[in-house]
A and B are shown apart, each in its own frame.
Chain A
Amino acid sequence: MNVMAEVCTAFVYPDHCENTVSGQSSPGILVLSRSLQFQYVNRRALELIRNIGQATTESGVIMLPTPLLELRDQMQESLDARIEANIWEPFEMSRVVSERGQRLLLRGFGHPNEVANRDSRIIIVFEEIGSAENDNNQQMCARMMGPELQTAGARFLANS
């Protein structure tokens, strides 16, 4: 395949490729460091967080609602305990949040990093419950990646 032709297609004629990341069809994703610093959040996550509480202030500061803070803190506590005990397998914690008629499945994935503990991460995936979209999302398979995880063959299946 001609690399240059593909580059032209992707950058000069982007419509030829799939659309950019669309909000409705994307899962909400939030990534935190072990010390709870924000590393990544997507638009969809903020939209879903807004459905169950405040997501950001007017000045753009991220405000997490209580159920999310609780899951975050549980994840951090478990991550720290596992690192302390030299347990390097990834783990998952989930909870369902019902607020304002919205039901949201919060799936937290702990990703301990054996090589560099500081690079351990908490990944929280947001899924709406009860919609057709969610029926698709429930078929999603989440997989943690990394050298230590490949040997462990870790693989998470969505709650269905």
Chain B
Amino acid sequence: MTPSKIPPKVEEPANPDRRGGTRVQKIQPCVYQLAQVAGYEIVKFSDGHALALNTSPGGFLLLMPQPTKKGQVFEVHAPVSAEGERAVKLVAACWTRELIFGDAGKIYLVGVTSLFELASLI
């Protein structure tokens, strides 16, 4: 009897695109507001400027000056027209990656899923 040959394990190639859809580069300044809520208690509000780098049908990629927790829900305001109209978006953070960026110190890449949108707010 010949010993059975166990085929060597082959690692499944990582999905080169883990996103829900194709991303389109769209660099756009925006502002965000975060609220740290613990149970029924508001721990802290914070807001600031961010940069949307690209978008997909289900979400977009943000460059932010502060980190977010996985699953954290927050608010992003992005301009939609030159007349000052803006969209208010509720998003949930899927992942955060820390980057070192020159004198600005640490910045964070944050992939978010879009949950809800209020459009055409002036």
Query: Shortest CB–CB separation between residue A25 and chain B, in angstroms?
Result: 7
Query: Shortest CB–CB separation between residue B61 and chain A, in angstroms?
Result: 11
Is the pair B42, A7 in contact by a Cβ cutoff of 8 Å? no
Q: Which residue of B lies closest to A56 (CB)?
A: B42
Contact A150 to B57, CB < 8 A, known contacts A21-B77, A40-B74: yes
Chain A residues, CB < 8 A from B48: 14, 20
Main secondary structure of the interface of A (DSSP, over half): mixed
Interface size on B, residues (CB 8 A): 47
12 A-B contacts (beta carbon < 8 Å)? A7-B107, A11-B101, A20-B49, A25-B122, A39-B73, A40-B73, A42-B75, A60-B43, A121-B115, A141-B119, A142-B117, A142-B118
Interface residues of A, Cβ cutoff 8 Å to B: 1, 3, 6-7, 9-12, 14, 17-21, 25-27, 29, 31, 37-43, 46, 56, 59-62, 109, 111, 121, 123, 125, 136-137, 139-147, 150
